[in-house]
Amino acid sequence: MSKYRIAVVVGSLRRDSFNQKLANALIKLAPAEFSFKQAQISDLPLYNQDDDGNQAESVKRLKGEITGAQGLLFVTPEYNRSMPGVLKNALDHASRPYGQNAWAGKPGGVIGASIGSIGTAIAQQHLRNSLAYLDVPTLGQPEAFIHVKEGLFDEAGGIGNEDSRKFLQNWMDHYVAWVKKHAD
């Protein structure tokens, strides 16, 4: 059994999402003592404070997945120079009602991929701002703004070229150390 359970939150709902592919490839770079489960966010209703007293089953499920994890891995695209609305919606739901923040204290990593030359730099910064408020200690270095180009992913769903694999392995090694330092 894995010692560290990680909730993976992918901020894209697109069928052929680069960020879903990145999340799947990153998981392959982690040590055996880490297990990963993607948190389902596509079925969450839009956040409405009026519903705090009677949260939807999908919200309760998400909060349970987060609460049961020792760490968080956020993999986000960048939409219009920010994080996607579906990701912000998940942050809002799992942090409410006030005083019942499921994210609090869980060590997190933030990464993302885009066809744009700056990757997801601005979306990651906006996400980091929200995570700081939500009391998620977030890995600061190394940063990883992945520019998706032909050959980034191989046929097996891994990282397709050696330089990118080394870079992402370094990122994962730092993330693993971060989680071990801050979990429980």
Pairing of strands 34-38, 4-10: parallel
For 145, the 3-state DSSP assignment is strand
Q: What is the 3-state secondary structure (H, E, C) of 52-121?
A: HHHCCHHHHHHHHHHHCCCEEEEECCCECCECCHHHHHHHHHHCCCCCCCCCCCCCEEEEEEECCCCCCH
Q: Is the Cβ–Cβ distance between 135 and 174 less than 8 Å? A: no
Q: Which of 37, 101, 93 is nearest to 69 (CA)?
A: 37
> Helices 18-27 & 162-182, crossing angle to 10 degrees?
70
The tokens for 110 are 């933030």
Question: For position 61, what pLDDT does the model report?
Answer: 98
In terms of pTM, does the model score above 0.75?
yes
C-alpha count within 13 angstroms, C-beta hemisphere, residue 3: 9
Residues of the chain falling short of pLDDT 70: 1-2, 184
Q: What's the one-letter identity of residue 142?
A: P
Q: What's the one-letter identity of residue 68?
A: G
State the Cα–Cα distance between residues 20 and 73, nearest whole angstrom.
12
